[in-house]
Amino acid sequence: MISFTSHFALLILLSLLLLIIATCDAGCLWKPTRLNINNDIGPGLDLTIHCKSKNDDLGQHVVPSGGEYTIDFCSNFWRSTLFFCGVSWSGKFHWFDVYDASRDSSRCGNCNWTIHATGPCMDYYNYYTKEFVCYPWNDKAYLQ
């Protein structure tokens, strides 16, 4: 029969392990995620992009026409990671969810986004076939 002390020690050990897993930024529990964001809004138009999550602000970057910006990260333990990006060019501003774990965790180990003036489009591999899906810009009312 296992004693109370053994149960308590096991509980402490499991609690410490979960705490380390939940707070560790050094490694991923799952495969790291890479998002490539390509500027295809028009010839000669630079895209200013600013991506954030609840915990990380990746700063503002300028992506030249035909250029690419890459984000590498690890989804959190609860798989609730959400990254969103604000994009602007020629006085226009839009935003979109570049990674929503509830939508993307099963398909994005390496996803490619192409930013068009009409909205963002993602391509990814679904096993051996390449999938392509476009999304509308998010509602601006949420940013106010």
- φ/ψ of residue 24, rounded to 5: -80, 125
User: Mean pLDDT over residues 15-33, rounded?
Assistant: 60
User: Is the model's pLDDT at 90 over the cut of 80?
Assistant: yes
| DSSP three-state, residue 39 | strand
Close Cβ partners of 62 (under 8 Å, ≥ 6 residues apart): 46, 47, 48, 49
Closest CA to 96 of 66, 134, 59: 134
Mean pLDDT over residues 33-62, rounded? 96
Say if residue 105's pLDDT is above 80.
yes
Assign 12 a pLDDT band (cuts: 50, 70, 90).
confident
Rounded CA-CA distance 58/143 in Å is: 18
pLDDT at residue 77, rounded to an integer: 76
Question: Which has more pLDDT, 49 or 12?
Answer: 49
> Model's pTM, two decimal places?
0.76
